[in-house]
Structure 1
Amino acid sequence: MLMMFDCKISEISYVIYHNVFKTEIQGIDKVKMMLDMYENGDDYRTHDSIQTHNNNFSLQGMDKEGGEMLGEIFESEDDYRTQTDYNTNRQPPFLSAGRYVRMRSYRSVSVCLVLLCVLLLTAVIVLCVLINTNNHQCHNNSNNLTEERDQLLTKYTNITEEREQLLTKYTKLTEERDKILAKYNDITKQNEQLNQKKNELWAHLSEGWIYYKSSLYFISSESKSWSDSRSNCRERGADLIIINNRDEQDFISKKSGTDNFWIGLSDIEVEGRWKWVDGSRLSTSFWKATQPQGVEDENCVVNHLSVWSDYFCHVAFKFICEAKRLN
């Protein structure tokens, strides 16, 4: 019986020793696995307590003597582990696991904080560079916009001045155009008048009128008294001839020949005050040597062989009509 108990103790010691040795070999790997399984050292310690409680519960069936032997075995195992850790400079995997986990957690947090600070510093530097670049670009854009604005203002001022100059020129051209239109209208009217006079001239010429120095003359073929002769001339749009110079006198003398012709001179209103039919006073005369005689009732003038004679107005003679001068 004692031998069987000794065998069981040996088997249990062998199993415990094998597990301890295996744990020592895989110490670091288990710690790493535990880091993944547990978030902090408290959970690890809680797990360790539960495991120790389970081991104690499994040994409750043993007798007191077997328990003392197991205690000695565990003490020897602790000494062995402590000695092994001292020789190999390792951390005890079970006794200081919580502390190791905390150290690793602090180290990871520190590394993360450092990396975060580096990232933040990098982001701040990049933002500062971007802001500085954007400010420089904005300043350049502002300068460019200011220059463009000044150029546009200058162009606007120039265009405004040019517009005012064009308006002034337009006003002057409008005035000149109005003047030209007025002249054109005057010329048109004159042209119409000339055409009218030309038509009248052709009409008079076709009726036997004679054109001489801008005047038309009609030499009658029938004889009438001085008053009837003047009435006939007025019906033709003319009046008895008014002789103002020697050329006209010679022209009439040549056309009349040796016949007597009434002219538009008389003193019917006042005896001795000779006046033309247009109301003008006599200035140039071509009287016969013995004329005028001053005989009463000889108040009308007749032309004969380039000289004038006063005669009775009721006597019938041929007459010469003169139309208005054509300018």
Structure 2
Amino acid sequence: MGTDYQGRKDRVEMIVDVCESIDSVREHNISTHKNAHQPLEHTGSECVRNRSHRSVLVCSVVLCVLLLTAVIVLCVLIYTYNHQFHINNKNIKEERDQLLTNNTNLIKQNSKLTQENNRMLECLKDGWIYCQSSMYFILSERKNWSEIRRLCRERGADLIIINNKEEQDFLVRTLHKELVWIGLSDSDVEGKWKWVDGSTLNISFWGSGEPISGPGVDCVLYNSTGWITYPCNTNFISICEKSCLE
């Protein structure tokens, strides 16, 4: 009896030991399994954290590039605006200066024209005739060439000098067929015709067979059909000429 009891007791203790061993192994496996999963979770967090850091870095770089581009564009726009403003301001100043110069010139021209007009009107009051910027006065007194010239000079003029066809035509319209002394002679050198201002003869309107050179035939008369030489001591009317601006 005692032997059977002891045998059962030993089997029970053996079963208990086996159960404890199984529980120990199970706990060890569970613990090992948990520990095996912990590094994986830690590694996943690190990857997520690294990706976040890279994203932030990329965004920061992009923002810096955009900001730098905006600053460059703004600087270019400011420089272009300032440059264009400087050019426009310079052009406006040049235009203003040109307008002031033109205005000054116009004032001077207007003043000059006013003076010329006043002088011309003053001349016309005394019976002078205006043509081609010159004033003409017909002396109806009949005098020799020297005397008639003296009368012209007393009026601030001299015997007429005919420089062009327009002036010759003016005499034709004004004097018609009248014979009139003009300011041409060869009294200094025979055959060398000179005007009263000392200039040589460049254009002439001689009549047929003229000019005639000879002693005492040193002066010239206007004639509608052409100039003619004539003795200077003969009495004729004359026409005086002057510039009304003198």
The alignment's TM-score, normalised by the length of structure 1, stands at: 0.46
Match of 1:310 in 2: 229
Pick closer, same or farther for the CA change 1:226–1:151 going to 2, 3 Å: farther
Deviations 1:67-94 (A, max 9, x none): xxxxxxxxxxxxxxxxxxxxxxxxxxxx
Q: Larger relative contact order (C-alpha < 8 A, sep ≥ 6)?
A: 2
Residue of 115, 121, 124 corresponding to 1:202: 121
- For the Cα contact (< 8 Å) 1:250–1:306, is it kept in 2? no
- 2:217 corresponds to which residue? 298
User: Is residue 267 of structure 1 aligned with residue 186 of structure 2?
Assistant: yes
1:248 to 167, 174, 185: 167
Does the CA-based 8 Å contact 1:241-1:263 persist in structure 2?
yes
1:171 equivalent to 2:171? Answer no
CA contact (8 A) 1:262 1:303 kept: yes
The CA deviation string for residues 108-153 of structure 1, in whole angstroms up to 9 with x for no partner, is xxxxxxxxxxxxxxxxxxxxxxxxxxxx9xx99xx98997786466
- Tell me the C-alpha RMSD between the 2 structures: 3.6
Deviation at 1:201, TM superposition (A): 1.8
The 1:209/1:147 distance shift into structure 2, 3 A limit, reads same
Letter in 2 for 1:202: L
The size of the alignment, in residue pairs, is 188
Q: Report matched runs for 1:15-34 at 5 Å.
A: none
**Unaligned ranges ≥5, structure 1:** 1-135
Question: Computing the radius of gyration over CA atoms, which structure comes out larger, 1 or 2?
Answer: 1
Q: Displacement, 1:291? A: 3.4
Q: Deviations over 1:156-204 (max 9, x none)?
A: 4423322222222332333343333333333332222222221122122
CA shift at 1:224, angstroms? 4.0
Relative distance call for 1:149 and 1:230 in structure 2 (3 A) is farther
Instruction: Please give the TM-score of this superposition, normalised by the length of structure 2.
Output: 0.59
CA-CA distance at 1:313 after TM superposition: 3.3
Q: For residues 228 and 170 of structure 1, what CA distance do their matches in structure 2 show?
A: 69
Q: Give unmatched runs, 5+ long, in structure 2.
A: 1-55
Residues 157, 242 of structure 2: 8 Å contact kept: yes
The partner residue of 2:140 within 213, 218, 221 is: 221
* Greater fraction of residues in strand: 2
The separation in 1 between residues aligned to 2:200 and 2:81, in whole angstroms, is 65
1:283 positional shift = 3.4
